[in-house]
Amino acid sequence: MSPLIARPSEALRGEARVPGDKSISHRALILAALAIGESMIEGLLEGEDVLRTAAAMRALGAETTRLASGRWQVWGRGIGGLVEPEDVLDMGNSGTAARLLMGVLASHPISAILTGDASLRRRPMARVAVPLRAMGAQIVARAGDRLPLAVVGTGEAAPFSYRLPVPSAQVKSAILLAGLNAPGLTTVIEPQPTRDHSELMLRHFGAEITVEDGPEGRAIRLRGQPELRGRPVHVPGDPSSAAFPLVAALILPGSAVRLPGVGVNPLRTGLLTTLKEMGACITLENERTEAGEPVADLHVAAGPLDGVEVPAERAPAMIDEYPILAVAAACARGRTVMRGLSELRVKESDRLAAIAQGLAACGVKVDADADSLTVEGCGGRVPGGATIATALDHRIAMSFLVLGLAAEHPVSIDDASPIDTSFPGFAALMTGLGAAIAPAEPVETVTEDA
C-alpha cells in the first residue's frame, strides 16, 4: 500500500506534459508487431498497462526495444507470423490489453493463456469471447468468461459481421484485429460511435478500412489479410490523463495551466464538451494532426462552474472521465446529472459505486442508481476529511486526490500504486503545478455504503 494525501491548495500555475495516450499506445505496439519491418514509436505511455502489452508482443515473437523515455523501436512479424508464447501472458490490470490480445490471438493458429491481477480477473470477457468464438477461435475460461482463460486460435478465421450489443471500442477493436488474418470483409456495426483509434491506426499502417454511417449505426469494414508496413507513430498526450490537472485548474481559484500536445479526437472530447457547458474556460491552440490523430495544446483557467445534465449518448466519448467530472460537479453550483453510466460498474472497480461512496464520505450530497449519478454541487470547496478506498482503480485514486486539493479538509487515498498503470509521475506533475500532494500514513479506509 502507498497511501497519499491531498491537502487544500492554492492556485495551480505552469505547463505540464501528460503521458502518452494509453489507448493509442496499446494499439501502436500491437499493430507494429503485426506489420512488416521497423516501426518507431514516440511518446509511448510507459505505464504498467502498456508495458504488459509490450511484453506480450515480445512473447509472441516481435522485437520491442526501449531506446529512450517514450521512444520505442518495434520489428514486426507480419500478419499471421506470430509465434506461440512459452509462458502465460499476464495482462496485469489492463482490460484493454487483455481484450485486444484476445482478438489478435483468435485468428492465429497458436494457443495462449491470459491472466491478470485480482481486479482484472473479476472483469467480464464474454463480450469479446462470444464474437471471437463465432469467428472460429476456441476460448476456454472461468465461469462468466473471466480470466484466466485460454485462447486456441484458428488458422482459418471466417469473415464476420457483428453488431455491438453495447458501445465498446475494445470489443470493436478485438474483432477488427481478428479480422486482419481472415479473408474477405470483417464488419462491425456500432449503434453509437466509440473511440476510433483502431480504425485510424489500422489505416496509418496500410490496412483497407472504411467507415460509413447508416440507419443501423456506424459500419466499419476491414478487408482482411493486408500487408501492414512498419510506420512511425507519434502518440499524443492522453486526454483521460489530462483531465486530472485540467479539472484541478478549473476548481482552484486563480489557476492557469497549459497542457501541450493532448489528443483531441472528437470521439474522446465528451469531457471538454461537458465542462464547457458548465462554464469552463478551456481553449485549444495549435491544432494539428499527428499519425492520423487530432492534437492540440489546452489552456485552462479557473472560474465558476454550474451543474448540467449530461446525456446518456455522450457516455462513449467520456466513459473514463466520469470520476473526475464528478469532482468538478461537486465543486460546481447546482445539480449535475449524469446518465448512461452502467458501463462504469464493470471497469477496474465498480466506479459508479466508488464515486458515490467517496463523494458522500467527503460531505457531498450524491445519489446513484444502476445507470445514473446525481451530484449536488457545493458551489466551491467541499468539506473533505475522508480516506478513500481506491479498490485498485487508478482513476478513482487520482480523482479523489484532485478533490482533496479543493476541499476544506485533506482527503487521503489508501493506495496510490494503481496510478502507475496509466499515469506514472502523476503526483510529481501535480506538485510541480503547485498541488499539495504527499505521502500519508496508512489509516482505516472508508467502507460504508453511500
Catalytic residues: 320
The x, y and z cell numbers of residue 447, run together, are: 467502507
Q: Where are the beta strands (DSSP E) in 25-160?
A: 36-42, 63-68, 71-77, 89-90, 111-115, 138-142, 146-152
| 190/139 Cα distance (integer angstroms) | 24
Per DSSP, 441 falls in state -
Q: Each residue of 68-97: b (16+ CB within 10 Å) or e?
A: eebebebbbbbbeebeebeeebbbbbbbbb
Q: Where are the beta strands (DSSP E) in 269-425?
A: 281-290, 293-301, 309-310, 335-339, 365-368, 372-376, 382-384, 387-388, 407-409, 411-413
| 280/261 Cα distance (integer angstroms) | 20
Judge contact between 231 and 39, C-beta under 8 A: yes
Strand order across the beta sheet in which 233-234 lies: 63-68, 71-77, 36-42, 233-234
The x, y and z cell numbers of residue 239, run together, are: 486526454
Mapped onto helix, strand or coil, the DSSP state of residue 221 is strand
| 253/359 Cα distance (integer angstroms) | 21
Q: Where are the beta strands (DSSP E) in 272-363?
A: 281-290, 293-301, 309-310, 335-339
Mapped onto helix, strand or coil, the DSSP state of residue 170 is helix
Q: Residue 8: how many CB atoms within 10 A of its CB?
A: 16
Name the residue with cell 487515498.
413
